[in-house]
Amino acid sequence: MTTDEKITPSQNGLSSIIKQTFDLVLIPFLAVVTALIIGGFIIVVTDAAVYTAFGEGGIGGGLAAIWTSVSVAYGSMFSGSLGSARDISESLVASTPYIFAGLAVAVGFRGGMFNIGVEGQLLLAVMASVYVGSNFSLPWIIHLPLTILAGMVAGAAWAALAGYLKAKTGAHEVINTIMMNYIVYLFSDWALNGFLCRTPCSSPVSPPVLESAFLPQFFYRLHFGFFLALIVAFAVWWLLFKTTIGFEIRTVGTNPNAARYGGIQTTKVMVLTMAISGALAGLAGASELLGVNRVLAAGFSSGYGFDAIALALLGRSHPLGVVLAALLFGTLRSGATRMQSLANIPTDIISIIQALVIVFIAAPAIIRWIYRIKAKGAEEGGGVMVQGWGS
C-alpha cells in the first residue's frame, strides 16, 4: 500500500466531517442573515426620516437615508452588546438563562417530547428557590447549592408530571404543558400576594434572597451562572451521546415503538426525559434569580421559556448549537435597549427578528428556495423528529 493510499481515507474522513458541519450550519446561518435583512426592511419602512429624505432629496437622498437608518440601528445594537467589556458581560448575562432554557427544550426534542412548558417550570423553580434562598440562614457553601437544587427539583417534578401523563394516558404533552403554564402563572400571582410576599406586603414582590445564596460575580454583572451553563451544556452532550441513558432517550425520540420492541422502558424514559428537561428549566430560573434579580416579582421571566423553542430549533437540538444560538439571542436582547435609545428603534424589532428565525428554521424549505440550495434527502442528520407533535 502506498503512502497516498494510506492518507486518502483520512483526508476523505476529514472532508466528510467538514462538509457535514457546513451543511448543518448553513441553514441556521442563512436563517439569521435573512431575518436581519427583513428586519432592516421593517426598520426602513417604519422610519419617517426615510420618506422625508425621498421627498426632499430624491432617490439619492432617500437611498442615503435608508443606509443611515439601517446602519445606525444595527450599529447601535451591536455596539450596545459587544462594544465594551461591560457590554459583553451584559450580553453573556442575558445569554445565561437562554442556554439553560434552550437545553431544556433540546433534551425534550431529543426524547420526542415537545416541552412547551419551560416558562412555567422556570417560574415554579424561581418560587422554590426564592423561598429557600430567603427563609433559611445557612453557610453559603450549603445555602447556594441547596437553593439551586430546590429550583431544579421543582422544575423537574412539574415537567415529569407532564411526561407521566403522556406515557401512561397518551395525553398530549403540548396541551398538558400549556395548561400547566397557566396553573403556575395563577399560583405565582396568588403566592406573591400571600406567603411569598415580603413583609409588609404592599406590592407583589418576594423577600430578597439572602447574600449567602448569591451566585458569585466576576466583573460587572457577569456571574458564575454563565460558566455553570457551559458546564451543564457539556454534561448534557455527554449524557445524550456518551451514555446508555442518552442512547435510550434518543431512541425513544426517534421511534418509540421500535424502542419498546427493543426492550427499552419507554414510560420510564419519557418521564426521565421531561424531568431532565424540567431540571434544566429550573436552572434557568435559579441562575437568573440568584445571579441577577435576587427577588421574585410579577413578570419575572421575559419569555425565556418560549424563546427557548427557537434556540433548540436554531441549534438543531445539539448542546453546542444551543449554546451558540443562546449567545446570539443574548447579544440581540442586550443590544436592543441601546438600539432603542440611540436609534429610536423599538425593541419589538428584535422580537420580530427572533420570530423570523423561528419561521425559517422550522421551515428550511423557505431558505432553500430563497438561496436555491438543493435539498439533500431529509435533512441529513440535521434535525430531531419530535414524535409528540403528531402522536
The candidate with the shortest Cα–Cα distance to 96, out of 216, 219, 222, 239, is 222
User: In the prediction, which pLDDT does 350 show?
Assistant: 79
User: In the prediction, which pLDDT does 4 show?
Assistant: 47
Grid coordinates of 284:
434557568
C-alpha span between 198 and 207 (Å, rounded): 4
Q: ω into residue 200 within 30 of 0, thus cis?
A: yes
pTM value? Answer: 0.85
Contact by Cβ (8 Å): 142, 286: no
Grid coordinates of 190:
396568588
C-alpha span between 238 and 304 (Å, rounded): 24
User: In the prediction, which pLDDT does 17 show?
Assistant: 63
Per run of 10 residues, the mean pLDDT along the chain (length 391 residues) is 48 63 76 89 86 84 87 86 88 94 96 93 96 92 96 96 92 92 93 89 89 91 94 96 94 90 91 96 95 88 84 89 91 82 77 82 84 65 46 39
HEC readout, the chain: CCHHHHHHHHHHHHHHHHHHHHHHHHHHHHHHHHHHHHHHHHHHHCCHHHHHHHHHHHHHHHHHHHHHHHHHHHHHHHHHHHCCHHHHHHHHHHHHHHHHHHHHHHHHHHCCCCCCCHHHHHHHHHHHHHHHHHHCCCCHHHHHHHHHHHHHHHHHHHHHHHHHHHHHHCCCHHHHHHHHHHHHHHHHHHHHCCCCCCCCCCCCECCCCCHHHCCCEEECCEEHHHHHHHHHHHHHHHHHHHCHHHHHHHHHHHCHHHHHHCCCCHHHHHHHHHHHHHHHHHHHHHHHHHHHHCCCECCCCCCHHHHHHHHHHHCCCCHHHHHHHHHHHHHHHHHHHHHHHHHCCCCHHHHHHHHHHHHHHHCHHHHHHHCCCCCCCCCCCCCCCCHHHCC
User: In the prediction, which pLDDT does 344 show?
Assistant: 77
Give first-to-last CA distance, the chain, whole Å. 53
User: In the prediction, which pLDDT does 229 show?
Assistant: 96
Q: What residues have CB less than 8 Å from 226, skipping those under 6 apart?
A: 92, 93, 95, 96, 99
User: In the prediction, which pLDDT does 391 show?
Assistant: 39
Q: Which residue has the cell 458546564?
A: 231
Grid coordinates of 270:
419519557
User: In the prediction, which pLDDT does 59 show?
Assistant: 85
Burial class of residue 135, CB neighbours in 10 A (0-12, 13-18, 19+): exposed
User: In the prediction, which pLDDT does 272 show?
Assistant: 96
> Where along the chain do its domains lie?
21-389
Grid coordinates of 305:
421559556
C-alpha span between 321 and 314 (Å, rounded): 7
Q: What residues have CB less than 8 Å from 157, skipping those under 6 apart?
A: 275, 278
User: In the prediction, which pLDDT does 301 show?
Assistant: 73
What CATH number should be reported for the domain whose range is 21-389?
Answer: 1.10.3470
User: In the prediction, which pLDDT does 23 show?
Assistant: 63
Q: How far is residue 113 CA from its own chain's centroid?
A: 16
Contact by Cβ (8 Å): 322, 144: no
